[in-house]
Amino acid sequence: MNPQATLSGAFLQSAGSTLPDALKTMRQQRATALADMPVPTRKTENWKYSSRHLQLDDSLAGTLVGGSSNTAFHNGDAYRVVIRNGQLDLDASELPDVSGVEVLAFRNLEDADAAQLAERLDNTLDSKAVQFARLNSARFEDGLLIRLAKNAVLDKPLFVFCENGGDKAGSAYPRIYVEAGQHSQLTLVEEYTSVGEAQALVNTVTEFSLADGANITSVRLTIEGQQTQHIGATAARLQANARFESHCVGFGGPLRRHDLRVCLEGKGAECKLNGVAVTQGQQHLDNHTVIEHVAPHCESEESYRNIAADKSHAVFNGRIHIHPDAQKSNANMSNKNLLLSTGAEIDTKPELEIYADDVKCAHGATVGQLDEESLFYLVSRGIDRKEAGTLLSMAFINELIEQIPVEPVRDAAHARLVRFIEQSFEGA
């Protein structure tokens, strides 16, 4: 691809939609501003490992439609919202009726609410650094707005099932905005799955704005098909004493990219970011995280693990930026990687930028293989190699999976990971 190439005009045509005027106007402005967005290349620092997996063919520019759903959405004891190709399906949803909690579709917002949202969208992320969040802002056709009043607590987790795909190539732009009032609490589970057979580009943005003392747990699963490229972003902005906890579980694909950005903006804010990613075959998965310690006395704890099999490629780039005023920051980042074959590749890059002097900051990254001695111990008990390898691989990530706080999601993630990893050992 020519290095100067900008995003094809075809991607800047937002489909007519039923959005309120304020949001339509905002979207149009974003689209205009996007006209000069360079398509990432090998020379684009934050895309250097992933740009060659990016396929932005014009055939993907149109909005995905159709694609019949076969998913029996696992429910557990939870509320649920279904988003199909970026459009909320309220009939298939089960919304909470809890005081102080509003779960709304962008398309149904009153003018005043829409105008307020148009002001706030994008304000949790630095859209220059997350190129594709800009594309989402120019293209979303609906979205999920969750507003929690002061002290509101959603009593059960809210599952958001994002199904994308169709019978004809295209793209989808799911969008979520969470406005959490002071001391409010929410557990949000996003699950991205594929339907249909056609080539798809799924470009997501989920934003969390946490007022003082708000507490949000976010779980994000991407288990999409091999016809789907996924480029997603999650951003959280925390005021004083707010807490944000994130659990991401990603399964490989032709391209899986997730940017996670957390800004600790108020004193005493705290975040915990866990991530597990698995890849096999020729798959490619790339996690980029950034934690901004802006205010003093904030804590961040980050742990990401990757398992790469066959000829797959996993990337982790984790940046911690401690601003000059962020004294007494406490930041801990770890990235561990397991290579299941000599043909697999892992690139890990922790980056620390520290401009305050009174901080505690630690980071570590390792890349290793299965322990031969452990493997021998297991097979010497009659366990076959595939099962032994799966047990040891799961042992590598179990610690993080066990921390997923929603039981049915944790169990489902665990079972899927086992199946995926077993496949990695088949015929090996």
Partner 1 sequence: MLSIKNLHASVEGKEILKGINLEIKAGEVHAIMGPNGSGKSTLSQVLAGNDAFEVTSGEVTLNGENLLELETEERAREGVFLAFQYPVEIPGVSNIQFLRTAVNSMRKHKGEPEMSAVEFMKLARETSKQVDLNPDFLKRGVNEGFSGGEKKRNEIMQALLLQPKLAILDETDSGLDIDALKVVADGVNALRAQDRAILMVTHYQRLLDHIVPDYVHVLAGGKIIKSGGKELALELEERGYGWLGIDEDAAK
**392 near partner 1, rule: CB under 8 A:** yes
Q: Which residues of 94-116 are buried (b: 16+ CB within 10 A; e: fewer)?
A: bebeeeebebbbbbebeeebbbe
Stretch that binds partner 1, among 152-160, 196-204, 235-243, 390-398 (CB under 8 A): 390-398
Shortest approach of partner 1 to residue 388 CB, angstroms? 8
Q: Which residue from 213, 208, 159 is spatially nearest to 179, judged by alpha carbons?
A: 208
Quick one: which of 91, 382, 426, 427 contacts partner 1 (CB under 8 A)? Answer: 382
Residue 135 to residue 60: CA distance in whole angstroms: 13
Residue 67 neighbours by CB distance under 10 Å: 22
Shortest approach of partner 1 to residue 392 CB, angstroms? 7
Helix (H) or strand (E) holding 299: strand 299-308
Instruction: For partner 1, give the closer residue by CB, 358 or 373.
Output: 373
Stretch that binds partner 1, among 10-18, 307-315, 394-402, 419-427 (CB under 8 A): 394-402
**428 near partner 1, rule: CB under 8 A:** no
Q: Strands 79-84 and 87-94: what pairing?
A: antiparallel
Shortest approach of partner 1 to residue 405 CB, angstroms? 19
Quick one: which of 396, 406, 417, 420 contacts partner 1 (CB under 8 A)? Answer: 396
**151 near partner 1, rule: CB under 8 A:** no
Helix (H) or strand (E) holding 422: helix 407-425
Shortest approach of partner 1 to residue 348 CB, angstroms? 20
Instruction: For partner 1, give the closer residue by CB, 356 or 367.
Output: 367
Shortest approach of partner 1 to residue 336 CB, angstroms? 12
Q: Which residue from 195, 179, 45, 48 is spatially nearest to 124, judged by alpha carbons?
A: 179
Enumerate residues 6+ apart whose C-beta is below 8 A from 337.
Answer: 305, 306, 307, 308, 314, 316, 346, 348, 365, 366, 367, 368
Write down the residue that tokens 């190129």 correspond to: 131
Q: How many residues bind to partner 1 according to rule CB under 8 A?
A: 23
At 115, list the tokens.
Answer: 């105008």
**383 near partner 1, rule: CB under 8 A:** yes
Stretch that binds partner 1, among 150-158, 177-185, 293-301, 379-387 (CB under 8 A): 379-387
**Phi, psi values for residue 341, rounded to 5°:** -150, 160
Instruction: For partner 1, give the closer residue by CB, 240 or 278.
Output: 278
**378 near partner 1, rule: CB under 8 A:** yes
Residue 230 to residue 284: CA distance in whole angstroms: 11
**422 near partner 1, rule: CB under 8 A:** no
Quick one: which of 45, 97, 358, 372 contacts partner 1 (CB under 8 A)? Answer: 372
At 8, list the tokens.
Answer: 């094809």
**426 near partner 1, rule: CB under 8 A:** no
**395 near partner 1, rule: CB under 8 A:** yes
Q: Which residue from 126, 53, 50, 41 is spatially nearest to 349, judged by alpha carbons?
A: 50
Instruction: For partner 1, give the closer residue by CB, 128 or 381.
Output: 381
Residue 146 to residue 154: CA distance in whole angstroms: 11
Tell me the per-residue interface mask from 319 to 358 with partner 1, x by CB under 8 A, - otherwise: ----------------------------------------
Instruction: For partner 1, give the closer residue by CB, 16 or 382.
Output: 382
At 341, list the tokens.
Answer: 């074959």
Quick one: which of 94, 197, 387, 422 contacts partner 1 (CB under 8 A)? Answer: 387
**368 near partner 1, rule: CB under 8 A:** no
**377 near partner 1, rule: CB under 8 A:** yes
- Ordered alpha helix ranges (H), 59-171: 111-120, 131-139
Shortest approach of partner 1 to residue 316 CB, angstroms? 20
* Beta bridge partner(s), residue 186: 216
Burial of 16 (0-12, 13-18, 19+ CB in 10 A): exposed
Instruction: For partner 1, give the closer residue by CB, 384 or 407.
Output: 384
Quick one: which of 358, 381, 426, 427 contacts partner 1 (CB under 8 A)? Answer: 381
Residue 105 to residue 83: CA distance in whole angstroms: 10
Round the CA-based radius of gyration of the chain to a whole number and report it: 21
**153 near partner 1, rule: CB under 8 A:** no
Stretch that binds partner 1, among 110-118, 241-249, 290-298, 384-392 (CB under 8 A): 384-392
Cα separation values, 264 from 118, 153, 294, 295, 305, Å: 23, 22, 6, 6, 23
**128 near partner 1, rule: CB under 8 A:** no
Shortest approach of partner 1 to residue 245 CB, angstroms? 22
- Contact positions vs partner 1 (CB under 8 A): 371-374, 376-385, 387-388, 391-392, 394-396, 398-399
